[in-house]
């Protein structure tokens, strides 16, 4: 990511983990729309997405399965727990399916 957008996403990501969390992996969330580009980070307990304008987290402690799929140049994270399914798209959106 370039310039202030990348810097803002990195600052938000650096502030997102809890004190006891260790970030295991960080990946750039590349999208068609420049305004939704951001960073995805995975800790032992959460998935964290940050961009210049927004952020979200997904709790992994109650997860039954987690998968990453790729369709063409886009990726989707699908997290299934006992109560619902959360789908996170490469454009930074989050959908909950009950």
**How high is the pLDDT of residue 6?**
64
**CATH architecture of the region 3-97:** Roll (2.30)
**Average of per-residue pLDDT across 64-76:** 72
Spatial separation of the C-alpha atoms in residues 38 and 10, rounded to whole Å: 8
DSSP 35-61: GG-EEEEE-SSEEEEEESS-EEEEE-T
End-to-end CA distance of the chain: 34
In this prediction the pTM is 0.62
Spatial separation of the C-alpha atoms in residues 83 and 95, rounded to whole Å: 14
Confidence at 1, pLDDT banded by 50, 70, 90: very low
Domain boundaries, the chain: 3-97
Spatial separation of the C-alpha atoms in residues 80 and 10, rounded to whole Å: 27
């Amino acid at each position: 990511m370039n310039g202030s957008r990348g810097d803002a996403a990195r600052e938000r990501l650096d502030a997102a983990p809890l004190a006891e969390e260790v970030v295991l992996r960080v990946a750039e969330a590349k999208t068609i729309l420049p305004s939704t580009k951001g960073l995805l980070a995975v800790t032992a307990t959460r998935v964290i997405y940050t961009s210049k304008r927004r952020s979200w987290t997904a709790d992994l402690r109650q997860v039954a399965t987690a998968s990453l799929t790729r369709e063409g140049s886009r990726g989707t994270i699908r997290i299934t727990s006992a109560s619902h399914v959360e789908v996170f798209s490469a454009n930074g959106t989050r959908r909950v399916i009950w």
